[in-house]
């Protein structure tokens, strides 16, 4: 009976944050698509790098993978017309290529493209996993009892962080060599304060300490729960049977 109560508490502890994660994971692709539709107008060089478009294409394919080597796109797989749909919300609108932009205005194309695709790929994976979970639950299959799904759920946290960082790389590297398109170049905005390294070092130390404390605390709680201790300072600890 004690084990059953503990399992119910753990399942509740999983379902509550997972419900919020589901809303975020499913909403994010739509929000990203809406915001991304402006990139063609406001930052065409970034869009060309996202799509790995050397030349203007109409309609443009969705280019999966690939890098530019010696001026040639290699190792890519193209899905016809989907690039125009994603970038321009149309099956036949053109996606401007790098050939329409002065060479000194090109961002680091390969890094921008791969970061963008990493973000989109991981975001799609995480959104798909939430749909799979609730679909299985609707069909009366509880994936919280599946060890492989729980392992994936643990891995989903770091994957979300990777997707977030990849998105920032795509955003900031893709706008280079400018901070504001056609207004301010990065070389004009960059500072040279030596104190920035102290700030970065302090931030790394603080977050490393918080991460270590969280891991130690969670492992300690898990160890005590498995041992069946009753007097735990946690609402999810096991309860004594009546």
Nearest alpha-carbon partner for 157 in 112, 122, 124, 133: 122
Residues 99 and 125 in one domain: yes
pTM over 0.95: no
How many domains does the chain fold into? 2
Residues 204 and 178 in one domain: no
Residues 90 and 204 in one domain: no
Residues 218 and 148 in one domain: no
Query: Which residues, other chains included, contact 172 with Cβ-Cβ below 8 Å and sequence gap of 6+?
Result: none
**Contact predicate 74/66, CB 8 Å:** yes
**Contact predicate 131/176, CB 8 Å:** no
End-to-end CA distance of the chain: 10
The SS3 assignment for 68 reads strand
Residues 206 and 181 in one domain: no
Residues 15 and 101 in one domain: yes
CA distance 97 to 49: 8
Angle subtended at Cα 184 by Cα 164 and Cα 46, rounded to the nearest 5 degrees: 45
Q: Cis omega before residue 118 (within 30°)?
A: no
Residues 95 and 115 in one domain: yes
Residues 189 and 204 in one domain: no
Residues 126 and 215 in one domain: no
CA distance 162 to 212: 19
Residues 203 and 159 in one domain: no
Residues 28 and 132 in one domain: yes
3-state secondary structure 158-222: HHHHHHHHHHHHHHHHHCCCEEECCCEEHHHHCCCCCCHHHHHHHHHHHHHHHHHHHHHHHHHHH
Domain residues for the domain of 230 are: 196-242
- pLDDT tens for the chain, residues 1 to 242: 445 555 666 677 788 888 888 898 888 888 888 877 888 778 888 988 998 888 888 888 888 888 888 878 888 888 888 888 888 888 888 888 888 888 888 899 999 999 999 999 999 999 999 999 999 989 888 888 888 998 898 899 899 999 999 999 999 999 999 888 888 888 888 777 778 888 889 999 999 999 999 999 888 877 877 776 656 555 544 455 44
Residues 41 and 153 in one domain: yes
């Amino acid at each position: 009976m004690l084990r059953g109560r503990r399992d119910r508490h753990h399942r509740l502890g999983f379902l509550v944050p997972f419900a919020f994660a589901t809303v975020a994971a499913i909403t994010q692709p739509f929000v990203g698509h809406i915001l991304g539709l402006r990139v063609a107008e406001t930052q065409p060089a970034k869009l060309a790098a996202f799509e790995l478009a050397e030349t203007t294409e109409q309609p443009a394919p969705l280019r999966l993978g690939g890098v530019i080597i010696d001026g040639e796109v290699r190792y890519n797989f193209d899905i016809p017309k989907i690039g125009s749909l994603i970038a321009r919300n149309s099956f036949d609108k053109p996606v401007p290529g790098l050939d329409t932009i002065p060479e000194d205005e090109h961002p680091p194309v390969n890094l921008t493209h791969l970061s963008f695709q990493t973000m989109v790929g991981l975001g799609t994976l995480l959104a798909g996993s939430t749909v799979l979970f609730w679909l299985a639950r609707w069909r009366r299959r509880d994936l919280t009892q599946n060890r492989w799904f729980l392992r994936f759920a643990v891995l989903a946290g770091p994957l979300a962080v990777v997707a977030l960082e990849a998105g920032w790389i795509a955003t900031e590297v893709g706008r280079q060599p400018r901070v504001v398109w056609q207004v301010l170049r990065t070389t004009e905005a960059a500072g040279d304060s030596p104190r920035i390294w102290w700030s970065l070092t302090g931030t790394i130390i603080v977050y490393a300490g918080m991460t270590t404390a969280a891991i130690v605390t969670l492992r300690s709680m898990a160890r005590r729960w498995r041992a069946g201790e009753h007097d735990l300072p946690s609402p999810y600890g096991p309860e004594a049977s009546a």
